[in-house]
Structure 1
């Protein structure tokens, strides 16, 4: 059975995500960067740019974290170049990943609809269990 082939840019993006996460966790000493999780990295075909998607534990610190990551971009890029041998090391662009928040919002909406549906079913069952009024003779 043949293995599925992945584009080189996908493999580089995966490796960059692992390396950047390790660098941020172990070597980046900026206190403004708290609990950051890298969710994805997308590299352009010419390897000149990389979009680094991240989430933070406390979304109130989002602006501070964004500025800190942009400020540390040069350091992170140089550390990536030491760990991954590339002819061109991509320029890093940090983008906040809202997919987790959107997913949580969708879950809340689904739960609300399910609760409303359950309440309607209980009301319908109560109405069905009441004896019908006898017609007047």
Structure 2
């Protein structure tokens, strides 16, 4: 039986914290917006880490651009991550835009409009 909170989860959690710090303090690229690391999923063998992020006030073009820039900077970010984490091998980083926040905002807008419509019909 697998551990409920195993090594992958611990590595993912620590990697998320360190990546957030690195992107805020160490990487100063003017092409990037204000980036938030939402989640990190590490494969069982720790070879690859999928890093999910969001960007504040970004349109679709900006989201794609930030994804491209982060994947270009991945080797530099990985090197910084290697300095901070006590692992023999650091996972290959792959950045993906996390659209769950955008979907959540859309659902909230739809629910709000339904609520307004139902309250106007009751009057």
The TM-score, its normalising length taken from structure 1, stands at 0.82
CA RMSD between the two structures? 1.3
CA deviation string 1:17-43 (max 9, x = no partner): 110111111110211112000001011
Shift of 1:117: 0.7
Give runs of ≥4 in structure 1 deviating > 4 Å: none
Higher RCO (C-alpha 8 Å, min separation 6): 2
Shift of 1:5: 4.9
| Equivalent residue, structure 2, for 1:77 | 78
CA deviation string 1:62-115 (max 9, x = no partner): 122112101110011111111112122111110100011000000011011111
| Equivalent residue, structure 1, for 2:65 | 64
The unaligned stretches of length 5 or more in structure 1 are: 123-137
Distance in 1 separating the partners of 2:38 and 2:91: 18
Shift of 1:58: 2.6
| Higher alpha-carbon Rg | 1
The TM-score, its normalising length taken from structure 2, stands at 0.91
- Confirm whether residue 52 of structure 1 aligns to residue 51 of structure 2: yes
Distance in 2 separating the partners of 1:70 and 1:5: 31
SS in 2 for 1:40: strand
Distance in 2 separating the partners of 1:109 and 1:34: 28
Aligned length: 119
| Equivalent residue, structure 1, for 2:5 | 6
